[in-house]
Each structure stands twice: as C-alpha cells, then as structure tokens.
Amino acid sequence: MTFEFALAVATRTVLAFSPLERLLQDDNQLSSPLTSYSRLQEGVYLFRHGIDPYAGGTFRHSPLSLSFFSTIVPASRIPPALLWTSLDAVGAWALVNIWRSRSNIQRSKRDLRIAAIYLLNPYIFLPCLALSTSTVETTLQLLTLMFASRGQSSLSLLTLAVLSHLSLPAILLLLPVLLLLLSDPLSHLASPKPFPQKLSKCVPLLVEFTVSFVTLALASTLVAGGWGWMRNTWGAGFLLPDLTPNPGLWWYFFTEMFDHFRPFFLAAFSLHLAIYVVPLCIKFQHDPLYASFLLLGILGTFKPYPTLSDPGLFLSFISLFPETYPYLRYPVVTALLHLHAFLLLPLFHHLWIGTGTGNANFFYASTLVFGLANGSALLDYVWAGLRVAIGEEKEGWVVTQE
C-alpha cells in the first residue's frame, strides 16, 4: 500500500502546481465566504499592516487561521500548495486508521481502496486544489474521529475544539465523539444494545473539551485584539450576512426573504441543523461511529455555508461500512443524482455568472438537485443502518429453522 499511496500523493502534488489552482480558487462551489483562500490572504495582509481584518464585512476566518497563516506559512504559492496536499494525505491516512480501528486489525487489503476513494473523490480533491480551508476542516474531522476510535480522549477533544473554532457547526459532533470515547469503534449495527456506560462518565470529558474550547477562544481574542471576531466568524452561521451563492440550501432562500421574517427563519434553520443530534445518538447509541457518520451527512446537507468537501467527506466515509451495502434501497438512483448534480452545478453557474444567459434560479435548481442527492444518500444509510440488525435476525431465524 505504501507505494500506491505515495504515488497518489505525488500525483496530487503535481496537480497542486498546475494552472487548475488559479482557475478553481474563487469557485463558489469549492470555497465559501468562510473558507475562501483569497479572503484569507486579504485578512492576513490587513493584519500584517496593523489593520483589524474584522472591522469590515469580508473576512470571516478564525483568528487561529489568521495567526497561523500570518506567522508560519509564507504568502508565496509553493508552501500553501504543499500544505494542502499534505492535509489531504493526512486525511486519507486518518480514514484508513478509522477503518482499522473499526475492524480491529493492523492492516488489510481494503486500506488502499479506502485511501483511493478519499483521494480520488472529486468533492475532496477539487476544494483542495482551490486551497479552500474546508480541506483543513475535513482533515480535522477525520483526526477527531481517528483519535476517538483509538481511545485517545485528550487529542480527540483538543482537535474537535480547534475544529469548532474554525467551523462552529462541527461542535454538533461533540455528543457522538463523547459516546465513541466511552465505548468502542467496532461495528455493532447487527447487535444493537443499550449504551454500555453511564452518561455521567461524559462529564469529565465534557469539562476537558470546554476548557480547551474556552482557552482557544481567549487566545483568539488576544490575537484579534477584541471580541469582534466572534460576530464575523461564529455569528456568520447564525446571521447569514454574506449571501454569496454556494451549493447549500440557505443562500437563495434568504435572498428572497422579507427582512421582517428573517430572524424567525434564521432561528428555524439553525435549530433544524441541531435537532438531529440527540435522536441519532439515541438510535445508534450502540454504534457511535455510525452516528457520527450520519451527522457528517446532515452537516454536509444543511450547514449554512457548505462546499463540495462537506458532502464529500460523508461519501468517503461510506467505504467504512460495507456491512450496510446489501441493505441499501436506491444506491443507483443516489449515484445518478450525484452525477447529475456534479454536472449541473458548474454548468448552471457558468450560464448565470459567466455568460449571463441564465439567472439565479438556474444555479439554485442545481443546488436543490444536489441537496436531494445528499438527502437520498443520508436516508438510504439511515435505513441500511437500522435494517442490518433486522436482516441478521432473519438470517439467524432461517438458519435455525433449517
């Protein structure tokens, strides 16, 4: 596997230095106002010249990103390209290790396939080529779940705290991560049982996460020179101040929304993103890794500023659950919907923005198809995750009868 993995990473490195990087960098499907590398460069420039980047309305990255890219990573082209390629390689490595922890093995023939599915997923490598910081978030999500699968609580909670600072909706993963730390990553879909630990054991882990999160918030405040960064970064997901088109479902709705109703629907959309956490964790308490997988799909479908890498991570995670494949109802339909959306998104965006022969309805229609594709995959895997246990019981019953 080592040679093939190195070859895949080398190929990605070559692509990182191709003209594709400049062509894709400002694509609205690959970078959002919260993950755009161009906006990050603008913020770093202002910060280095003594101007508060949060005083305006365009810079929405975390102060952690601001301090990292203004002090450690040079502004030239080569270091960011190498960094993003390395992050993608680390993400693939983390995904493979999650599979090994779930299967309780050291190595398997499936490792290369899992890494290839991640590295060759266009929803993953195109945002990476565009230098979207969603690649950083994707890698941190994988590292969080990898450390949790290994039982490394401090590393997992610290990584999740950093991730939540970069992208606040990721804090919804806290509950399944806590459950995963108190149980194990092995597949228990076929034998659902009540959660084996008392939830009171979550309290020390929750305190540890809170301390890490608050410490990072104080450090960010020192970097930014005040508390104003919270409104521009965390507040953006609740207030939706920037309606730049993206593959999500929020921007067009609030473009057409009367200001009088805006606060109500902002609250409704924000609560809608959070209401799935507890039900999924209760239903899949016997397999917290699967609950985390489903929550990744919900975030990729319903978060306010998604990019292609958000559903891309959910689709890459599918390779970790082969036991669900026989129980999927409409995999072909879901795959065709994703192919349809993948072709429509750039086409309708070009018709609207590039040639001016279309309008916003064209692009939003393609995002609705994309949302339908994501929702179809999510529902199919909720069904399959529940159906595994019933299928195993029936198979056991048939064998017994025979």
Do 95 and 101 form a contact (C-beta atoms < 8 A)? no
> What is the Rg, in whole angstroms, of the alpha carbon atoms belonging to the chain?
21
In a domain, 258, yes or no: yes
Q: Could you read off the pLDDT of 334-384 as tens digits, one per residue?
A: 999 999 999 999 998 888 888 877 788 888 999 999 999 999 999 999 999
**pLDDT of amino acid 58:** 84
Residue 357 belongs to a domain: no
Lowest mean pLDDT among 10-14, 278-282, 379-383: 10-14
The per-residue pLDDT for 164 is 95
Whether 388 is covered by a domain: the verdict is no
- 159-205 pLDDT tens trace: 999 999 999 999 999 999 999 999 988 988 888 888 877 778 889 99
Whether 210 has a pLDDT exceeding 90, the answer reads yes
Higher pLDDT, 174 or 399: 174
Sign of torsion over alpha carbons 56, 60, 66, 70 = negative
User: How high does pLDDT run on average in the chain?
Assistant: 88
Instruction: Tell me which H or E stretch contains 129.
Output: helix 122-129
* Residue 289 pLDDT exceeds 70: yes
In a domain, residue 7? The reply is yes
The answer on pLDDT for 73 being more than 50 is yes
Q: Is residue 394 a part of any domain in this protein?
A: no
In the prediction, which pLDDT does 99 show? 94
Query: What is the per-residue pLDDT for 401?
Result: 32
Is the predicted pLDDT of residue 394 greater than 60, yes or no? no
Rounded Cα–Cα distance for residues 189 and 391 (Å)? 11
The pTM for the full model equals 0.92
Domain membership of residue 179 as a residue range: 2-320
Higher pLDDT, 84 or 72: 84
Handedness of CA 263, 258, 169, 228 (dihedral sign): negative
Position 343 in a domain: no
- Percentage of the chain beyond pLDDT 90 is 56
**pLDDT interval class at 49 (50, 70, 90):** confident
Q: How many domains does the chain have?
A: 1
393 in a domain, yes or no?
no
**Residue 371 forms part of a structural domain:** no
pLDDT in the model for residue 206: 94
DSSP for 350-386, please give it. Answer: IIIIISSSS-HHHHHHHHHHHHHHHHHHHHHHHHHHH
pLDDT at 16 over 80: no
Has residue 207 got a pLDDT over 60?
Answer: yes
Q: pLDDT value at position 4?
A: 62
